[in-house]
Amino acid sequence: MAKRMGTNTLITDTFPSVAGYAAVASKKEGEGPLGRELDVVCEDSYFGEKTWEKAESRMQKDAVSKAIAKANIAVSELDYIFAGDLLNQCIATTYGLRDMGTSFLGLYGACSTMAQSLGMAALFVDTGMAGKAAAVTSSHFCSAERQFRFPLEYGGVRTPTSQWTVTGSGAAVVAPSDEAPYIKAVHFGKITDMGITDINNMGAAMAPAAAKTLEDFFSDTETTPDDYDLIVTGDLGIIGRDLLRELMQRDGITLGKNYTDCGLLVYDRTEQKVESGGSGCGCSAITLCSYIMNRIKSGELREVLFVATGALMSPTSQQQGESIPAIAHLVYLSNNKNAVKGS
């Protein structure tokens, strides 16, 4: 049974494994630094479907299928699937997973969904509520642009603070096993709102939430950034990343060279013209479910804090003059079963 440490950090008792994981993405992601590590790269942004929304559903379905196959289990062995996405009413998820026949728990954490869903899956397996559980999320540049910003045909100019929504889906299957990556702890965050209203600067809106979650986690576990090989946020981009460093420095915590952001790993910022970096639920999902998990599996990375952030606004709240509340959820992944410091 998961043990509570400090305020709200949950240390898993059994260190459940990520038994299988997969990343599905499109052309631009395939051309980026992660290209060769992705399981599927589809040149067609429609993924053979008629609309971008259906394409996004298709990516989720394919990511889950791949992750299940890599975990070497049948879909019928999954007890629960935790999932969500950015589209109104989370339709990428509900249509993508409707034929799976698995108990379904829909989540809405915006771009924090990969951490939220993986954390939930890990806790369900750890407490024995599930034998095996999956986590999945996605985003699609085209479906996100037309829902949150402008029709693509309009060709709106992008600000330097803007980020590029990743077209991709990442999925992970959690199960008891003796193979890394192991999930050692989960910390679900609190909503933070510093009054930022610029929807073209999501990194700045989300950085305070990441700071809050990381600081609470370090305090709960009595650890410091130096205890980890990699601390990686979800999609703060370069502006949010620098702001996070600054915010935490102000509180006396130095994020060193072991800190980076999935929005900077997923694209080559200068070559691929993505302004401040990648974003969207798919950004942290495909980076975690390829590059990061691969390195934990191989032992190149030992102790990893994955902190996905989400901006909890909508076009309606923005039109009504509201600021942008944000949240960050943390999952502590490891390549070993050594006890968590202090637990």
* Rounded Cα–Cα distance for residues 34 and 28 (Å): 10
Asked if 219 interacts with its own copies (CB under 8 A), we say no
Stretch that binds its own copies, among 164-172, 267-275, 290-298, 322-330 (CB under 8 A): 322-330
In the complex with its own copies, the residue whose CB is nearer, 9 or 290, is: 9
Asked if 79 interacts with its own copies (CB under 8 A), we say yes
Asked if 123 interacts with its own copies (CB under 8 A), we say yes
Q: Are strands 164-165 and 80-85 parallel, antiparallel or unpaired?
A: unpaired
- Give the number of residues in contact with its own copies, rule: CB under 8 A: 56
Of 70, 272, 322, 336, which lies in the binding site for its own copies, with binding defined by CB under 8 A? Answer: 322
Stretch that binds its own copies, among 105-113, 163-171, 255-263, 264-272 (CB under 8 A): 105-113
Asked if 16 interacts with its own copies (CB under 8 A), we say no
In the complex with its own copies, the residue whose CB is nearer, 199 or 236, is: 199
Q: Which residues contact 122 (CB under 8 A, 6 or more apart)?
A: 12, 16, 174, 183, 186, 331
Q: Which two tokens stand for residue 322?
A: 């509201």
* Rounded Cα–Cα distance for residues 143 and 155 (Å): 15
Of 18, 68, 86, 207, which lies in the binding site for its own copies, with binding defined by CB under 8 A? Answer: 86
Cβ atoms within 10 Å of 145's Cβ, excluding its own: 17
Asked if 127 interacts with its own copies (CB under 8 A), we say yes
In DSSP terms, 174 is beta-bridged to 18, 133
Site for its own copies in 139-158 (CB under 8 A): 147
Site for its own copies in 177-196 (CB under 8 A): 188-191, 193
Cβ atoms within 10 Å of 181's Cβ, excluding its own: 28
Of 71, 100, 122, 204, which lies in the binding site for its own copies, with binding defined by CB under 8 A? Answer: 100
In the complex with its own copies, the residue whose CB is nearer, 57 or 287, is: 57
**What letter does residue 290 receive in the DSSP assignment?**
I
* Rounded Cα–Cα distance for residues 195 and 324 (Å): 7
Cβ atoms within 10 Å of 148's Cβ, excluding its own: 17
Report which residue type is found at 243.
Answer: L
- Ramachandran angles phi, psi of 154, nearest 5°: -70, -30
Asked if 45 interacts with its own copies (CB under 8 A), we say no
* Rounded Cα–Cα distance for residues 75 and 100 (Å): 7
* Rounded Cα–Cα distance for residues 119 and 234 (Å): 14
Asked if 224 interacts with its own copies (CB under 8 A), we say no
In the complex with its own copies, the residue whose CB is nearer, 58 or 241, is: 58
Site residues (CB under 8 A) for its own copies? 1-2, 4, 8, 10, 50-51, 53-54, 79-80, 84, 86-91, 94-95, 97-110, 116, 120, 123, 127-129, 147, 188-191, 193, 312-317, 320, 322, 325, 327
